[in-house]
Amino acid sequence: MTEFFSFFLTGALLGLTAGISPGPVLTLVISETIRKNRQAGIKVALSPLITDFPIILISLLLLSGFDQSRTALGIIALAGALFLLYLGYDCLKFKDLNPDLENPGPGSLMKGAAANLLNPHPYLFWITVGAPIVFKAWQVNGWAVAAFFLSFYLFLVGSKIMVALLVHRSKAFLNSRGYSWIIRGLGIILFIFALFFLLDGIKMLSGS
C-alpha cells in the first residue's frame, strides 16, 4: 500500500509540474482561452489524452529491449536526471508568460494535439523519466502502474484546465507573483527527482 501511494504521489507531482510549467501546450491553453473562451482552453488541455498513448507505447517498447542491461538503464537514468535538471532550471528562471494571440488557425483540440506531438519534451520525458518509473511500478504490481498513470494525467490535464479557468476569470493571474513562485517551487521538486535519477544511474553503472 505504501508503494502504491508512492507511485501515486510521484505521478501527481510530475503531472502537476508538467501541467503548469511553461511550454507550447500551456501557451495554447492560455491563448485559446483569451482569444475564444474557457471551453477552447479546456479542449487544448485535454489533448495529451489523445496524443500521449503512441509516445508512451514507443517509449516502453524502446526501453523493454534494455531491461536486462544495467549499463543501458544507468545511462537512461542519467539522461533522465539531466532532462529533469533542465526542466527544473527552466522553471526557476520563469518570469512571465506572453502567449501569442495572433493567427487563430485550426480548432483548439487539433492545435493542442499538434503542439503536443511536435513538442520534443513528451518524447524525452517518457523515454528518460516516465517509462523507467512505469517499469519500476510494474515490479511492484499493476495497481502501482495504474496509480502512476492515473495521478499523472489527473494532475497534468487537471492543472491545465485549472489554468484555463483562472485565465478566464482573471488574465492577470499569469503574471502574478503567486504563479511565479508556484512554478519555481515545482522547479525545486524537479531537482529533487533529478537527484534520485542520478543516484539510480550511478548505482546501475557501478553494478552495486
Domain of 123, in residue numbers: 2-206
Residue 147 is predicted with a pLDDT of: 94
Cα dist from 120 to 155, 160, 169, 182, whole Å: 20, 19, 31, 24
Q: What is the pTM of this model?
A: 0.79
The whole-number pLDDT of residue 207 equals: 67
Q: Which pLDDT score is estimated for 99?
A: 54
For residues 146 and 148, give the distance between their C-alpha atoms in angstroms, rounded to a whole number: 5
Q: How many domains does the chain have?
A: 1
- Kindly report the backbone phi and psi dihedral angles of residue 45, in degrees, each rounded to the nearest multiple of 5, phi listed first: -60, -30
Q: At what angle do helices 131-140 and 48-64 cross, to 10 degrees?
A: 70
56, 59, 152, 197, 199 from 79: Cα distances, Å? 17, 14, 21, 9, 12
**Measured in whole angstroms, how far is the alpha carbon of residue 41 from the centre of its chain?**
18
Task: Let me know: does 33 contact 170? Beta carbons within 8 Å.
Answer: no
pLDDT at 160: 92
Measure the CA–CA gap between 58 and 120, rounded to whole angstroms.
14
- Residue of 143, 166, 156 lying closest to 33 (CA atoms): 166
Low-confidence ranges of the chain (pLDDT < 70): 1, 67-68, 95-107, 171-175, 207-208
**The pLDDT of residue 159:** 92
Q: State how far the Cα of 7 lies from the Cα of 140, in Å rounded to an integer.
A: 10
Residue count of the chain, please give it: 208
Q: Is 68 helix (H, G, I), strand (E, B) or coil?
A: coil
Q: Which three cell numbers stand for residue 66?
A: 534494455
Q: Which three cell numbers stand for residue 137?
A: 511500478
Closest CA to 123 of 54, 208, 42: 54
